[in-house]
Structure 1
Amino acid sequence: MYRLLIVDDEEIITDSLYETFARLMPDQLDVCKAYSAVEALNWMQRTRIDIILTDIRMPGMSGLELTEQIQNYWPTCRVIFLTGHSDFDYAYRALQLPNVRYLLKTEGYNKVMSVVEEVLEEIRRSYSMLDLVKQTREVTSQLAVIRQEEFVRRLLQDSTAVTCTSNDLQDELNKRNLDLQAARPIYMVLGRLNAPLETSSDLERVQESVRIIGSSFMQEHAVNASVTDHYGDMIWLLQTKREDGTADNALVKFLEGTLELVQNACMASLGVSIAFTLSGRSCRFSEITRQYERLRLLQWMNTGDNISMVLTDNHTAPSTGFTKEPLRISSKIELMSGYLETGRIQPFYDMFEELAGELLQHDITMERAMETYYNLALLLHSTIHRWGIQQNIEDQRSLLHLGEFTSRKDALQYLYHAAEELVHFKRSNEQEGSNVAIRSLCSYIEENLEKDLSLVRLAELHHFNPSYLSRLFKQEKGTNLSEFIDDCRIRRAKELLQNTDLMIREIAIRVGYEAAHSFTRLFKKLTGMTPQEYRESLLIR
């Protein structure tokens, strides 16, 4: 989904354009509005903006000054100047800026809509990155890439062993032509394909292509090194390009928005869906392994199959106490828990089979057998109680009492029974989970019509990615989120017109419209009558 921001200090123009574009292509275009350059910059700090439609001359900061600021936040953002001033100097200055178009207000709405659609098509074409992938493959030295990737994998596996001193680390980075700086903090992105590919050659090609596409988008504000880990996930290590080497929330917001563009590009060019997890705070080189494992766990805990989402981890991981070689069984139990919580049933069963199979090995020691069994039993038992399904599993307390089973085979059979009950419950409740989330969102909208109900704000409040929220709502409700909000506002307005003596402008404010003329226009569009005509029709009855 692309995002359009309309900026004009004349409210009637802003509101009219907002209403026009909000209904132009609701599945593809999320529309926001601002009545000043300062308000527009606030939007820029909150979310990615793909197109901005703005007046040139506004009080305080002009459209030209605003455009220069925009380049600092979202360099690929397209700008369309819509103004009543046709003097040459302004037009000439506007056309010197990158990704800028210039229109006169006198050219009419049809011309404005046509230009916005043309710009959207330009953006879509720019996401076809296959030529970039081909060119990069041709000019990249394969040997140098192998040496770089081998070093990054070592950092992921055990960063404490690689990062002895800052000078030594910088020498290693320089020898491999990596642009990262040893003394600067690191951010990390983990990307995972949402569906398996048919062959290993397809997988390798797609992994390489995704890394090239991701790096090309992120290089605007960040230097990076990327690698595919042994799980098949794509990893990027990133540092800000700021001269002082410090990074802040602006870089994280840039990465969040840019990763959505990477998802769009990968779908358009490669036909694959990607889920990303991003470290919201930096770490030192020595902490890379811990940060990497944390992102993997967060990915397992929060994503399911075929969901394109960008998840940001804002937790600060402690810098000490890292265990170089975690216990093998406990690590697998963490993986299994993540798979079960996110509905990834086949990976859960595969690892369950691996651990359960150990219990039947003839050469296994009693200590090892008990450790394996109790780790599996504790995972199943805690999940049963957390999900509240004790009644579904007979004698589930026996899970934690190995002595109640006459043989290892009997104990293993009970583990399988408990695991199957959990899987059955998870599958039957996945759809209900989506319904609950959307019902909660609908209730919030109906109870807060006078508040900011933009897609970005609703996503912030309900902890969703904006694009994912839009798709989920359409999937669950069969209608666009913006259309649902409009329907709620009109229904509430009708109730107030019928049951109160409030003035039209007061009703407009109560249902979320600061300008009465915007409320009147929408009401007539959806009902065929103005609010006053509707109220009078009730009196006639």
Structure 2
Amino acid sequence: MVQLLIVDDEASVVDSLADTLPWREIGVTAVFKAFSGSEALELLQTNSIDIMMTDIRMPGMSGLELLATVRRRWKRVKCMLLSGHAEFAYAQQALRHDAHEYLLKPIGDDEVLAKVGHLVGELERERDESRAYERVVKAFSENLPKLRGDLLADLLQGMKLSPERLGQKLESLKIAISSGERFALLLCRLEDRLAELDFYSLSLMEYAVANMAEELFEDEFRLWSCKDIHGYMVFLVTQSAGDPARSDNQEQREELDESADSRLQSAASQLQLGVGRYLKGSVSVLISRWGLFPIDIQRLYEDMLLSMRKQVGNQSGLLIYVSNEFEQLPVHALQRLNEPPMLVHLLESGDWERTRDKLSGVWNELSSKWADSSEHVTEAFFSVYASFSSFAHKNGRQLTDMIGPHLSDATGLMPIRSMESFRQWMFQSLELLQQCMESETRNDRENAVRKIKQFVGKHLVEDVSLQKIADYMYMHPVHVSRLFKLETGENLSDFVLRLKMEKAATLLADPSLRNYEVALRLGYQNPNYFIKVFKKYYSVTPQEFRQKLETIEEP
């Protein structure tokens, strides 16, 4: 609801503006009248005014003085100045007081409605933005622990962020760690009875373990936790004070490291005992070596997963300090292929540029490290092929239909024959997928615009506001407007007006219909407003238009 206040010491001006214009058509639901600055202030104190239109020269309090007071006490009210004086000094003062419009008398009704309608649109956008911002802030606060965990889980999987981007994320999520700071990882696997719990009960146990860890570590360490893709609980541990990396003395750094290791293992042991005593379950805990944030996260995490497979296996209740095992392996997995964002997720998001970057990274790693390994090349081929197929199926299509039978024939495309043939297949297939999806998008836009036109044509004499059309299409009004403009090159409001005026011309050709009847049939409750709109569109009044038609029809 938008409420307008009109202030002028000339009662005839106030009454004319308030009572004769079709305010509801532009979204104004109530119009208040004031004949002096003091009356305006009283109305502002007792009513929720959104837009104020005031004359400048009034006895007692001038319009500029009123504007200055409103700006101090009701900052959200949008103000317009209306004056018969065109002196530039008034315009300068109006701008200093943040007036949104400066209008000179005499002014046409259409211009008044257009200017006020523009401010109504601004209010609606501001309200939408404010509500959206409040929802986002609330959702962000409620989901902060999950957002923190998601970031750590992505870093464990090898997600690459620029230092600036990572710093921004850490700051926004209120995570107290900086680039180059030393850290260790703890990996906890809930076992025996705990591993057999249902999802809800397991979530409660994991919450209890995380709280227990916070209490045990809080005196000397800071924890940042997540649940990884294997269902393990992972804690990134930093020291609350005395970071050895900040010391210039090598011997002192080693002593601090040994002391930190001892305290860390002691706290981990206490965590195991606490789980057994209070949660009646078992947990294995693996402790990594110390590394530097963020460059060592994935490497230390891979070390722990390898130790979990080789040293823990099916045993339970173990506490292991992980050595540098991963770096000693003769064969490694493809890093770029398996790190987030995953290829299938990039395809689903429609981010074609980042998808190309992903495939380029996979190709560069293959050609530089594993060009002679047929197994690595084959792994990459089938992983990319599976992502392309999954993307096609999720869009209700066969991969053959999107990229053709030649490129989708997996049996004839074994890439181990040639690295170059694999590269050509990847990027050619991606290009065809993109072309297919963009063609479907264009078709969807065309169908949407056709539905919009049908709705407007069917409801032309009713409410065909942008909001009504958006509700019918289940879209946001801004999206509807942009979609229509993008596809047709015409503003949606201009299209509606054109149809109304064409319909008006057809109705005016019927001599049995009076002008006011034509206005009502087109949804205009105010015949005078219809006459003004018609004249602005055709440059003649409805009556003059009829006279021209009669002249043409005469032999």
Q: Above 0.5 in TM-score?
A: no
Higher relative contact order (CA 8 A, sep 6+): 1
Q: Give the TM-score normalised by structure 1.
A: 0.44
If you compute each CA radius of gyration, which structure gives the higher value, 1 or 2? Answer: 2
Q: Give the TM-score normalised by structure 2.
A: 0.44
